[in-house]
Amino acid sequence: MTMQNDAYNFAYLDEQTKRMIRRAILKGLAIPGYQVPFASREMPMPYGWGTGGVQVSAAVLTPEDTFKVIDQGADDTTNAVSIRTFFERTAGVATTTTTRNATVIQTRHRIPEEPLTEGQILVYQVPIPEPLRFLEPRESETRKMHSLEEYGLMHVKLYEDIARHGHIATSYAYPVKVEGRYVMDPSPIPKFDNPKLGNMAAIQLFGAGREQRIYALPPYTQVVSLDFEDHPFVASKADHPCGMCGAEDSYLDEVIIDDAGGRMFVCSDTDYCEGRQTAGHKGKDAA
Amino acid sequence: MQADTLSGGFSDPARQSAHAFRSVREALGRPGTIQDISGARPPAPLSSAAGAALLTLCDTETPVYLAGNHDCDAVRAWLAFHTGAPPTGPTDCMFAIGTWAALGPLSAYPIGTSEYPDRAATLIVECPSLTTAGATLTGPGIQTSAALSLPELTAFQSNHALFPLGLDFIFTSGTRLAALPRSTVVTQEGAF
Ligand SMILES: [Zn+2]
């Protein structure tokens, strides 16, 4: 019977809330890039910790899943550990830090370096889902702009970047157009990650808790970063190999390594970096 | 109230609906794939797959239209008991269930509004069988192309022409299901 009062809710949320979120996810998949409103619930963690992503994860997890959480590429930040522990306790799921072993990956601000596969789901924590928000603060107006495909102002903003800096200065949350229709905020991932959004084998789900929006990219969806013919989009990164594993194709963080101001560049994706080091790859700063 | 009204729901709702949702989500996210879905034993003519989908997605917030033979005492009582979904007509339903012949005409259903295209109905179409052969599907969720046994072509082509508005379809047969979101381009077999 469905009316029973479970003392223990699988994945924390009550069934009615999960149904509401699941319906929003299905509509999101049917209209790629469109922000579906949902009634976000209070979660036992602060908003900045990704309550939107947590609610989406709670709605998609099954007991057999293996769950991974990354925060800016790392599995071991307070935020990542706290969310991972939350689902170990409430859903009893297995957890992992290894990208290829995970079936559901919740992420804040990165896409893993290792290409995802058809058996995987990537859940993004989104702070501000509306790509037009900084041009127009009123929700009623941005909704109208999306409905009319009125995206000219967005291009004007990017072009002002070019006029001022000689290139498009936006380097995070770089806006994309989905299947030639909706302009979408990919969450504050570095623009280096933008090319991975399109044609991905995994399902991508985006949850914004405070703003109460869910949106989605089905697998193999066409996603194009906005640009101009004379200033094409470039997925830039620091022009160095990783100091630890020597990778030349990964997104790097610059870290300070001693009191004398010494620095090195190291993969932001810690699982990717460790995997390469285990396989014998060595960067110039590796011990 | 009959005994079979009380039975045939999920015995472990949280876990069974999590599995059932995975099947529906995979079907809708990857049009043309056929997914297994189990756990429900609803009264005839409701299929097990359609029953599981309704248990997973419907509640007091989702008006449901029962079309044709699905609008019978046994199904009405079962749905009311297990989901609480209010019965309604096609014009203001969120979900509709029936055979393809009984569900028409599609013009009766809400297709969303330009500012809220998500406010559109999902039609659950009971099919005698489901195979990955027939109409050619392309679009989001499909790497190159897929094939699915659709009850016809033109209705789905007209529906896609409404994008981003439009209806979304779930096809059920026994304990299997497939889906066709409004984003999918449908062409004649072999046309791709
Ligand atoms: Zn590295």
CA dihedral B23, B27, B30, B35 (to 10 degrees): 70
Q: Is A230 or B94 the better-scoring residue by pLDDT?
A: B94
Alpha carbon of A272 to ligand 1 centroid (Å): 7
Residue A155, class by beta-carbon neighbours within 10 Å (0-12 exposed, 13-18 middle, 19+ buried)?
middle
Q: Is A167 or B82 the better-scoring residue by pLDDT?
A: B82
Tell if the CB–CB gap between B117 and A20 is shorter than 8 Å.
no
Q: What is the mean pLDDT of residues B108-117?
A: 98
Residues of A marked as catalytic: 33, 242, 245, 267, 273
Q: How far is B128 from chain A (nearest CA, A)?
A: 24
Closest CA relative to residue A135, chosen from A93, A172, A175, A195: A175
Alpha carbon of A69 to ligand 1 centroid (Å): 19
What string of pLDDT tens digits covers the 287 residues of chain A? 333 334 458 999 999 999 999 999 999 999 999 999 999 888 888 767 789 999 999 999 999 999 999 999 999 999 999 999 999 999 999 999 999 999 999 999 999 999 999 999 999 999 999 999 989 999 999 999 999 999 998 888 888 888 888 888 889 999 999 999 999 999 999 999 999 999 999 999 999 999 999 999 999 999 999 999 888 999 988 889 999 999 999 999 999 888 888 899 999 999 999 999 999 999 999 87
Contact A92, B54 (CB under 8 A): no
Tell if the CB–CB gap between B164 and A18 is shorter than 8 Å.
no
Closest CA relative to residue A270, chosen from A116, A87, A127, A114: A114
Q: Is B14 on the interface with A (CB under 8 A)?
A: yes
Alpha carbon of A252 to ligand 1 centroid (Å): 8
Q: How far is A154 from chain B (nearest CA, A)?
A: 19
Average per-residue pLDDT for chain B: 96
Planar angle of CA B10, B129, B64, nearest 5 degrees = 45
Radius of gyration of chain A (CA): 20
Residues sharing a CB contact under 8 Å with residue A46, sequence separation 6 or more, in sequence order: none
Residues sharing a CB contact under 8 Å with residue B178, sequence separation 6 or more, in sequence order: B27, B31, B32, B33, B34, B35, B130, B148, B170, B171
pLDDT tier for residue B3 given thresholds of 50, 70 and 90: low
Q: Which residues of B touch A55 (CB under 8 A)?
A: none
pLDDT tier for residue B2 given thresholds of 50, 70 and 90: low
Domains defined for chain B, CATH in brackets: 3-182 (3.40.50.11310)
Rounded to whole angstroms, what are the CA distances from A49 to A39, A55, A78, A207, A275?
Answer: 18, 12, 10, 12, 27
Question: In the numeric block, which tokens belong to residue B23?
Answer: 């099947």
Q: Which residues of B touch A2 (CB under 8 A)?
A: 9-10, 13, 55, 82-83
Q: How far is B15 from chain A (nearest CA, A)?
A: 7
Question: In the numeric block, which tokens belong to residue A255?
Answer: 């870290």
Closest CA relative to residue B32, chosen from B128, B124, B140, B142: B142
Q: Is B141 on the interface with A (CB under 8 A)?
A: yes
DSSP state at residue A191: G
Planar angle of CA B107, B66, B54, nearest 5 degrees = 105
Q: Is A168 on the interface with B (CB under 8 A)?
A: no
Q: Residue A177 in 3-state DSSP?
A: strand
Q: Is A10 on the interface with B (CB under 8 A)?
A: yes
Instruction: For residue B9, give the nearest of A1, A144, A179 by CB distance.
Output: A1
Q: Is B55 on the interface with A (CB under 8 A)?
A: yes
Planar angle of CA A156, A157, A163, nearest 5 degrees = 85
pTM of the model: 0.96
